[in-house]
Amino acid sequence: MDGTTQPGESPSSGEIKGFSVPAGFVGLRRALVLCWMSIAALGRSLAVSSAITLVGPGLGMVPRAMEGVRGLSNRQRVLAARWSGVRIPTPAGRQPPVPAGASGVIARYRWIMNDPQLRREFVWVLSDPVAGAFLAFFPIALLLGGAWGIFLAFFGVPLSEEWDGLWYYFIPVGGSATAVLAGILGLLHLPLALWMAPRAVHKHALYTYAMLAPSENEMMAGRIEHLATTRSDAADTQMAEIRRIERDLHDGAQARLVAMGMNLDAAERLLETNPEAVRALLIEARQSSAKALQELRNLVRGIHPPVLADRGLVDAVRSLAMVCPVPTEVTVDLPGRPEMPIESAAYFAISEILTNVAKHSNADRAWIDVRYDHGMLRVTITDTGHGGADAARGTGLQGVERRLATFDGVLAVNSPVNGPTMVTMELPCELSSPKTTSSLGTD
């Protein structure tokens, strides 16, 4: 079965074919996990319902309760993709803003229902303890029913006498023959439970997709909004870069070239009368030209580093690791070379994160892993620092996030207090050129 779906596509509803005992036991284990998830959804639904009805100013605890619902739904999205190949798009952005003056039960309910994603998650968390639990528990119920039938085959007759009659489905367990018949029927439940378990897990993933996935119109609207945002960010970034180049040229190389011209003009006037002063002016002009050349090289390196243009992302990342104050190990596995804009975005993002590691993390070791997987350039940077990094609070990480978003890339930060910190970047791209696999450590 090819159960993998891409975001925005409808998942395949095809049945799983064949029977496998190991797959059945795996399915039962997964079904049990989904049952626990349904119990957690029951707790979240009670929390949201209580938060809506509680007396208090504004929206009260509703936003925080819905954050818990989103976290649980994201976990369901992960399980659906991992176990059934059903990919459910993850919500982009944060919760909608709180309207001014909103307060009371009606305002809280309206705040949830007016946002399509919150509405879906709210309906899902209310229905999952019933519908989701039924789908997940069904193969487990078959297994328990089979175990009960086998138990009755051995102990059904005395139990029937003690309880004044006992039935197993349509079988009245009153003697040895009917007890054996209940046991045979119970045995038949066991392979049926193993056959049903992986199918129930897949059906549960389809149910979760139906409850949480946005419609095509919502996907298109979100895509348009994303493109408008990234286009605006790209334009702002480009204008900021142009202003930086203008400022660096005006304050650096341009000023030195003007000074050099003034020195040469003065040397021309003193050439006949004061040769020694001319010599000093020429030496100063030569120094100014050398400094201007170095500043121009630095400026070009800030726009597009020569090592990146000449030797590609692999050697450019190595050069960053070698100049980083924190000892950094680089591992690269690329079957080719990304396009130049992607390389540039990845290079400057890695540079910014390594700068943060050196300045703020107090790390004594860092690792960079660059690889290509299923159409994605994936970069992972890990350090042994004290952690606590948050993209929502740091302007540097926000800049990296905006830079990657221009190319539909994403940034994920996992930085618990006391570390370690792991920053993962993904950029969709196509590769060309020969394969590059290497590892480099710097001390």
Instruction: Report DSSP letters for 329-379, one per residue.
Output: EEEEEESSEE-HHHHHHHHHHHHHHHHHIIIII--S-EEEEEEEETTEEEE
Q: What is the mean pLDDT of the chain?
A: 79
pLDDT bracket for residue 108 (50, 70, 90):
confident
Q: What is the rounded end-to-end Cα distance, in angstroms, of the chain?
A: 48
33-60: per-residue pLDDT in tens? 999 999 999 999 999 888 888 766 666 7
pLDDT score of 268: 73
pLDDT beyond 60 at 22: yes
Least confident of 100-114, 129-143, 250-264, 402-416: 250-264
- Give the pair of three-digit tokens for residue 277: 């002063």
Is the torsion defined by CA of 301, 304, 310, 314 positive or negative?
positive
pLDDT beyond 90 at 206: yes
DSSP 409: -
Least confident of 287-291, 296-300, 402-406: 296-300
273 versus 5: the higher-pLDDT residue is 273
pLDDT beyond 70 at 109: yes
Q: How far apart are CA 375 and CA 222, in angstroms?
A: 22
427 versus 9: the higher-pLDDT residue is 427
Q: How far apart are CA 383 and CA 354, in angstroms?
A: 9
pLDDT bracket for residue 7 (50, 70, 90):
very low
Least confident of 154-163, 232-241, 363-372, 433-442: 433-442
pLDDT score of 253: 64
The pLDDT > 90 percentage for the chain reads 15
Highest mean pLDDT range out of 47-61, 109-123, 147-161, 192-206? 192-206
Q: How far apart are CA 164 and CA 286, in angstroms?
A: 112
Q: How far apart are CA 411 and CA 78, in angstroms?
A: 17
DSSP 327: -
Cβ 284 vs Cβ 263: under 8 Å: yes
pLDDT score of 437: 47
> Which 3 state secondary structure label does DSSP give 38?
helix
pLDDT bracket for residue 432 (50, 70, 90):
confident
Q: How far apart are CA 161 and CA 174, in angstroms?
A: 8
* Strand 328-334 to 366-373 pairing: parallel
pLDDT score of 355: 86
Least confident of 175-184, 216-225, 279-288, 402-411: 216-225
Residue type, 133: A
- Give the pair of three-digit tokens for residue 134: 């039924």
pTM of the model: 0.57
Alpha helices (H) in 128-215, listed in sequence order: 133-162, 176-212
pLDDT score of 177: 87
pLDDT score of 207: 93
pLDDT score of 235: 60
Cβ 288 vs Cβ 263: under 8 Å: yes
Cβ 64 vs Cβ 94: under 8 Å: no
Least confident of 88-102, 203-217, 258-272: 88-102
Report the helix count and the strand count for the chain, using DSSP H and E.
Answer: 12, 10
How far CA 260 is from CA of 212, 247, 257, 275, 436, in Å, comes to 67, 19, 5, 18, 46
pLDDT score of 4: 47
pLDDT score of 200: 93
pLDDT score of 254: 66
Q: How far apart are CA 167 and CA 182, in angstroms?
A: 9
Q: How far apart are CA 201 and CA 137, in angstroms?
A: 10
pLDDT beyond 50 at 1: no
Q: How far apart are CA 238 and CA 4, in angstroms?
A: 38
Among candidate residues 312, 301, 320, 374, the one with its CA nearest the CA of residue 338: 312
- Give the pair of three-digit tokens for residue 319: 């050069």
Among candidate residues 361, 343, 332, the one with its CA nearest the CA of residue 409: 343
Helix (H) or strand (E) holding 68: helix 62-84
pLDDT score of 2: 43
